[in-house]
Every structure is written in C-alpha cells, then in structure tokens.
Structure 1
Amino acid sequence: MLDTRALLRLMAWLSPAFPIGGFAWSGGLERAVADGLVRKAPDLQAWLATLVRHGSLRNDAVLFAEAWRQAGDEGALKELAALGLALSGSSERFAETLSLGKAFVTAASAWPHPVLARLPEDLPFPVSVGAVAAGHGVPLSQALAAYLHAAFSQVVSAGIRLSVAGQAEGVAILAALEPLIEDVARAAGRSTLDDLGGAAIQAEIASLRHETQHSRLFRS
C-alpha cells in the first residue's frame, strides 16, 4: 500500500511544477499537428493511446518497471540507462529523455537517498523516476500509473497550447484514458526487457521531421 509520505513524494515528483522542464517538449506532437495527423481532441486521444500501446510510452513503462526492480544494483542501472537512451528514435527524443532524466535526479536530491548515488550521470527519464520511486518505497503499480498519467497530462497540455483541444476536452481525454493507463501499468509491471519494441511509425517520423521544422513552440 502507498503510505502518505510516499504519496506526497510521488505527487511532488510528477507535478507539472517539478523543475525538470517538461513543458518545453511535445514528443513529436507539434510536427504531427503541423502535418495534419492530429487535428482535434479525438485525434489527440488516439495519438496518446497509440503511444502507450505501441510506441515510446510503452517502452518507457517497461524501462520504468525494470529500473524499479533494479534500483539496488548500480551495474544493472547503468546498463539499463544506456539501453534506454539507445532506444531513442531521433536526436530530439534522445535530448528530451536525457534532459528530463538528469533534471529529475537533480531535483529529487531534495529527498536524499542512497539510490541517487547508484544512478549514472546520463540516463533516460523513466529509468530515473523508476529507480528513485523504488528507493523511496513507492509501490511499482502506483508509481508507474502515476508516471504514465503525468506523461499523458504533459502531451495533453502541449495539445492545448497547439490549439488541438480545449481545457475541458483535455480533462475529458485524461478521464477516458484512465482504464488504458491502468492496463498498461499492470502489464508493464510483469514485463521484462524482452518486451521492448514498438510500431508507432508515424510518431517516430513526426519526431524526426520536427528536427527541421522552421516555426515551433517546443523542443521536440
């Protein structure tokens, strides 16, 4: 069970106010909007569902779960971090997950714990959060569900700023996707690194195309 202190820490780490700069990234959504792949709120919901079923967010969930399990093993965390960074399909995805991962560890040092010393200097975002959550005794199922919900919230926020959806529609998207978050978190909790992989080709292409986009709001 998630005790009160662990809950408070999880809420702080995954809050939009946590100083990791998540607001600056869209994960390729900006290019998808420019290319007409995402036009309205239902498209944004479908985009998120695809990412978490078949794309980068699914891999994030697998990496998160493995980092949670290996939080006490410095060597395993180093190898996992290298694998997670190597899975980045574009230079911007690499920069995004690396920037967020390093910033998260820096900010999380406000809660001192030996797990921080076991983490490599360069690591992807899901590995940093998964390991730190395990170190502080946050159960995997709750930590992973909260991580995915925060990732969805960030993409929805980007979609609102890109005028794909209004605020009420954004909240409705998050509500509608709750069962999917629960299902993916449960499956990822039983996953191994052999489950890594993806088929969200359009999302990967959008991320690559964003690198040459002339006018943009986001860094990815």
Structure 2
Amino acid sequence: MSTSTDPSLLHLLWLASPALPVGGFSYSEGLEAAVDAGIVHDETSAGDWLLSQLELVQARAELPVAAAAHAASLALDSTRLAELNAWTLRTRETSESLQQVQQMGRSLVAWMQSLMPDAAVLPLLQALKPAPTWPVVMGAVAAARGAALEPALQAIAFGWAENLMQAAVRSVPLGQTSGQRLLARLVHAIPDAVSTALAAPEPMAFAPLLGIHGARHETQYSRLFRS
C-alpha cells in the first residue's frame, strides 16, 4: 500500500514545532506578569488571558503581518518586507517584546540560512534592519517552503498557542492535563483568528493591558521568562 504526503504540510509541522531553535520557550509574552498580579491564577483564567491575546494580538497584528510577508516573499518585494518589519518594530510596547521579535527573527533567519541557503527571499530578510522580526520571517519562510497562506497562518497560530500553553503550565502552574485542555480552547479559536487575519486590510496594534503587564514584567522581582 502506498501513501503520499504533501511536503508543504510536513514543513508547516516543522515550523510549528516547539523544537524549532528560536528560543520561543523562554518568553511568556506578559503571562508571567499576569500571574504575578493575580489576574491569571488557574486553568480558566489562563485560558481567558490567552484567548484574549489570540483575538486581540495574534489575529489583528502578528498573523496579518505574517500574511502580508508571505505575499511579499513570493513577489520578492523588499520594500514591502521592510515596511512590515518597521511596523512590527515600532508597535512593540516594551523593551522585552522588542527583544523577543528581533531575537526570534534573527534565529529563524539563521535556521533558514542553514537549511535553505538558496532561498531567493533569504538575502531580503538578512538585509532587514536593525533585525528581521519574527512574524515577518515566519510568513516569508512559510512561503519559501511552498505552504499556502491559510494553512501557514494556522500553523503559526498553533505554534504560538502551544508555546504559551507551556508557559502557563510552568508559571501558573498547571498540570499537563490542564495544559492540554487549555490548548484545546485555543485550537478551537484558531480558525476564527486566521479568518480575522485574512480579512484585515492592514495589521492593527491595540492591547493596552498586555503592554502594561509587559512593562511590569521588566521590573518583576522573580522571573522564569524573558517577557
């Protein structure tokens, strides 16, 4: 019996894997500060916090940037990639969130250099200053791997959800079963988040509570995470 597998699906599973060497596990994106403030204290409140972040940040900002970068990568449009990168940088509200998108972006470009040195978009990403940012590079890499836009955004959203679920397990803390239930809530909401991102004419950034707790995390006494 013979089977066939779409290579682009395997590449998306790879990109969504927590084993991708970009350091995503070291960031909680404000979750740890929300735990310290008592806003997040159990499975339900962790799920509520992350669902809000999925709907207000991922669906309206990060995923639309990745979608636009996917198109710009296919067109080898260096001007559009630079515009998206600059927008991502100027909408980071804290030094930690700025550090995160740059560090993870640089790491993903280094991964791409190692495994896809002949990718046509690679020099355009390497030229982004002061550093390539995570959502821009993710969209570009997905395009370079031959992934269609909608499944690419689903994979990016799932990778984010799995990483933040693991951050919740460590910081709240939660048991593994609770973490899987939390992930199920996020997975159920991902299709709507992707639909919102695909319909967005431009990325939008407005999540003041996340910015406040991201700033508080920078002076938090005891921390496991870098954001």
- TM (normalized to structure 1)? 0.93
RMSD of aligned residue pairs (Cα, Å): 1.5
8 A Cα contact 1:145 1:181, kept in partner: yes
Q: What amino acid is aligned across from residue 226 of structure 2 in structure 1?
A: R
Q: Which residue of 1 aligns with 2:64?
A: 62
Larger Rg: 2
Q: Which residue of 1 aligns with 2:80?
A: 76
Question: Take 1:141 and 1:40, find their aligned partners in 2: how far apart are those partners?
Answer: 32
- Structure 1 pair 180–35 and aligned structure 2 pair: CA distance change class (3 A): same
- Structure 1 pair 93–177 and aligned structure 2 pair: CA distance change class (3 A): same
Question: Take 2:176 and 2:216, find their aligned partners in 1: how far apart are those partners?
Answer: 27
Q: What amino acid is aligned across from residue 118 of structure 1 in structure 2?
A: L
Q: Which residue of 1 aligns with 2:185?
A: 176
8 A Cα contact 1:51 1:58, kept in partner: no
Seq. identity, %:
34
106-115 or 33-42, which deviates more: 106-115
CA deviation after TM superposition for structure 1 residue 53, in Å: 1.4
8 A Cα contact 1:65 1:191, kept in partner: no
Over residues 58-99 of structure 1, what are the superposed CA-to-partner deviations in whole Å (9 max), with x where a residue is unaligned? Answer: 310111111111112011101210111111011100001111
Structure 2 runs not aligned, ≥5 long: none
8 A Cα contact 1:160 1:166, kept in partner: yes
Q: Which residue of 2 aligns with 1:204?
A: 211
Q: Which residue of 2 aligns with 1:118?
A: 124
- TM (normalized to structure 2)? 0.90
CA deviation after TM superposition for structure 1 residue 156, in Å: 0.8
Q: What amino acid is aligned across from residue 5 of structure 1 in structure 2?
A: P
Q: What amino acid is aligned across from residue 149 of structure 1 in structure 2?
A: F
Q: What amino acid is aligned across from residue 117 of structure 1 in structure 2?
A: P
Q: Which residue of 1 aligns with 2:175?
A: 166
Q: Which residue of 1 aligns with 2:20?
A: 18
CA deviation after TM superposition for structure 1 residue 177, in Å: 2.3
Question: Take 2:221 and 2:64, find their aligned partners in 1: how far apart are those partners?
Answer: 34
Q: Which residue of 1 aligns with 2:110?
A: 106
